[in-house]
């Protein structure tokens, strides 16, 4: 099944508080968001995408980003590494004022999706990234390359478009890079083509992969990525998620499914499956759209 020896461990980054919550139609009360964030932090996760500092007009679900982040810092700073999403310089300024271990800037490999997502060209977003880098101080700066494999508007993405963004991001001095299957329509052949090109250009750089599960391919793509030496993955408790600016995008790969997969093949995540299932059950009770292969274990 695997062409190379399995690693002893992988790293999972919990993204439900940002990517999962933003897709929910009804506003999740701040106190309930905070309670879920606390529960996720107790699963053993080492890094969490806590919220995003975006315009409340664009994504009303994130209107309480400052309150959620302030709570996280009081209770979890120094215990769980935090990252918050920022779409632009204004978002960076808001995030830096509250404080987090890292800020994550988003730019799409596809011009059409970047325009839909940020109302900017890719070039304009990269220039904005330079501005963010100039003010971040000691805060780590990550970059998520959205639509790294396929765009809902333009179709398959040329791997060289991804390489070009990664090259410039590294030249700017970012601290981490995520390659995202934003639409969740990537297949193992498409993923392997791009990741092989990325590996040939950037060697063993420790990329994160952000894999949505729209077509049920997330875990198969995870296996293909592991064969190429990629061992850092995003997931969302309950399988919540979906990009508001990518038509047809469904949820993220569920944290409980990913942890279960790795446990079954003898790879450590440091995350307790029973605790993640408790989070998913709690979200089910709240009426959130839990969607995972293990969700049947979560009684409503």
CA atoms within 13 A on the CB side of 56: 6
Q: How far, rounded to the nearest angstrom, does the alpha carbon of residue 274 sit from its chain's CA centroid? A: 22
243 is catalytic: yes
- Tell me which residue of 283, 287, 215 sits closest to 255, measured CA to CA: 283
- Tell me which residue of 254, 208, 266 sits closest to 2, measured CA to CA: 266
Alpha-carbon gap, residue 255 to 236, rounded angstroms: 5
Alpha-carbon gap, residue 44 to 240, rounded angstroms: 19
Beta strands in the chain (DSSP E): 11-14, 47-52, 81-86, 102-108, 140-146, 150-151, 155-156, 176-181, 208-211, 232-235
Which entry of 151, 186, 243, 298 is annotated as an active-site residue? 243
Q: Which residues are catalytic?
A: 243
């Amino acid at each position: 099944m695997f062409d190379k020896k399995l690693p002893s461990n992988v790293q999972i980054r919990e993204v439900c508080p940002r990517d999962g919550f933003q897709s929910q139609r009804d506003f999740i009360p701040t106190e309930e968001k905070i309670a879920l964030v606390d529960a996720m932090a107790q699963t053993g996760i080492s890094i969490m995408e806590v919220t995003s500092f975006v315009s409340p007009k664009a994504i009303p679900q994130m209107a309480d980003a400052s309150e959620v982040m302030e709570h996280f810092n009081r209770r979890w700073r120094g215990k769980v590494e935090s990252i918050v999403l920022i779409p632009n310089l204004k978002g960076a300024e808001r995030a830096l004022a509250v404080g987090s271990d890292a800020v994550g800037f988003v730019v799409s490999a596809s011009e059409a999706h970047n325009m839909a997502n940020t109302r900017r060209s890719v070039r304009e977003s990269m220039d904005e990234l330079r501005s963010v880098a100039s003010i971040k101080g000691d805060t780590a700066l990550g970059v998520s390359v959205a639509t790294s494999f396929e765009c809902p508007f333009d179709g398959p993405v040329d791997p060289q478009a991804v390489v070009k963004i990664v090259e410039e991001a590294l030249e700017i001095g970012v601290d981490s890079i995520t390659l995202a299957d934003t639409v969740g329509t990537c297949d193992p052949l498409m993923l392997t083509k791009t990741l092989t090109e990325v590996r040939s250009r950037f060697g063993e750089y420790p990329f994160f992969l952000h894999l949505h599960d729209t077509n049920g391919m997330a875990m198969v793509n995870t296996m293909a990525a592991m064969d190429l030496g990629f061992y850092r993955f995003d997931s969302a408790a309950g399988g919540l998620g979906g990009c508001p600016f990518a038509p047809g995008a469904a949820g993220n790969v569920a944290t409980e499914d990913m942890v279960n997969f790795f446990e079954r093949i003898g790879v450590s995540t440091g995350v307790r499956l029973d605790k993640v299932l408790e989070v998913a059950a709690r979200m089910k009770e709240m009426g959130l759209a839990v969607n995972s292969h293990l969700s049947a274990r979560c009684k409503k």
